[in-house]
Amino acid sequence: MKIIVLKEGDYAVNKNKEFTLMEDITNVSGVKIAVQPFLIITANDFILLDTGLAIAHHGEPLIYQCLKKENILPEQISKVLISHLHKDHIGGIGYFENNSFKGNFPNASIYIQQRELNFALTQQDSLSYDFEIVEKLTALPNLVMLNDDKGKISDEIVYKVSGGHTPFHQEFWIKEMGETVFYGADNLPTSSYLKYDIAYKTDYDGKRAMEERIIWKKQAKTEDWGILFYHDLVESLARYQID
C-alpha cells in the first residue's frame, strides 16, 4: 500500500466559510487548516479519499495539479470515497461546462452516502456547502450510493456511518497485506483530536463524534492503524501507537 498526500494548501477560513491561502494574506485570521485529500494505491486500486476544494489554477482543477505532481492521471483513479459533502471535501469532484456538470474522475466509482446527500439537499442556505455542486451530483454516471450504516466496498475497503460532524458522515478503513489505514475525515481532522476527549460545537452531534474518537483511539493502539488527518497543518499521517 502506498499513501500519497495531495496537499492543496494551508488556508484561513472565516465565519463565512471562505477559504483563503495563508500565503496570500498578511494578517491571518479565522480558523487555520490544511486541505489535503489522500491517494492510496493498492494492488487493485487507485483510491482517492475526498476531493478538496473547487479551485482551478490556469483552468485546471487543483486536485489535478496535485495528482500531476505525483505523475498520476485522473483517469487512473478507480475509486473515490466521499466522507461527507461539505465544500472543502467535495469541491474537486467535478466542474461546470456549458451548464452541464462533468466529473473529474471518469473511470472511478464514486461512493457517497445516500442519506448524507439527502440531508445536504436540505442545506441550501448553509455556507458549509457548495449547493450548486451538491444538487448536480446525481448527474454523474459513475456515482455509487451507499445506504447501510456499515459495509464493505471491496475486500480491502470497509466503511461505517458514525454521524457526528454531519448527520451521516462516514469513515473508511483500507486494509492490505496486514496493514490498516483509517480515514476519519472531519470526525478526526487533526491529530490533536486524539489528545483530548472533547465534544466540539462545530459538529452536528459533537458528543457522538467524541464517543467515536474514544473507540477509534483504543482500536488504533491495539491494531496499530495508520491514521490520516485531512486538516492537520503539520501531521497528515500518523504511523504510531497512540498513547
* pTM, 2 dp: 0.95
Name 177's Cβ contacts closer than 8 Å, sequence gap at least 6. 1
- The full set of domain ranges for the chain reads 2-238
The number of CA neighbours under 13 Å toward the Cβ of 47 is 25
**pLDDT above 70: residue 242:** no
Give the CATH superfamily of 2-238.
Ribonuclease Z/Hydroxyacylglutathione hydrolase-like (3.60.15.10)
Give whole-number Cα distances, 152 to 83, 148, 173, 187, in Å.
15, 10, 10, 20
Are 153 and 111 contacting, i.e. CB atoms less than 8 angstroms apart?
yes
d(CA 7, CA 67): 10
Percent of the chain residues topping a pLDDT of 70:
96
Report residue 122 as a C-alpha cell. 436540505
Residue bearing the bigger pLDDT, 117 or 196: 117
pLDDT in tens, 77-130: 999 999 999 999 999 999 998 888 999 999 999 999 999 999 999 999 999 999
DSSP states along 37-94: -EEEE-SS-EEEE----S-EETTEEHHHHHHHHTT--GGG--EEE-S---HHHHGGGE
Listed residue (36, 32, 5) closest to 20, CA to CA: 32
Quote the pLDDT of residue 23. Answer: 81
In what side-by-side order are the strands of the sheet with 150-152?
A: 150-152, 157-161, 170-176, 179-183, 226-228, 237-238
d(CA 218, CA 224): 10
d(CA 134, CA 107): 20
Please enumerate, as own/partner, the contacts of 64-72 that have beta carbons within 8 Å and a separation of 24 or more.
64/104, 66/6, 66/7, 66/8, 66/37, 67/6, 67/39, 70/4, 70/6, 70/39, 72/4, 72/39, 72/46
Quote the pLDDT of residue 99. Answer: 82
24-28, 45-49, 190-194: range with highest mean pLDDT: 45-49
Mean per-residue pLDDT for 210-224?
94
Name 189's Cβ contacts closer than 8 Å, sequence gap at least 6. 33, 229, 230, 231, 232
Identify the band that residue 26 occupies on the pLDDT scale cut at 50, 70 and 90.
low
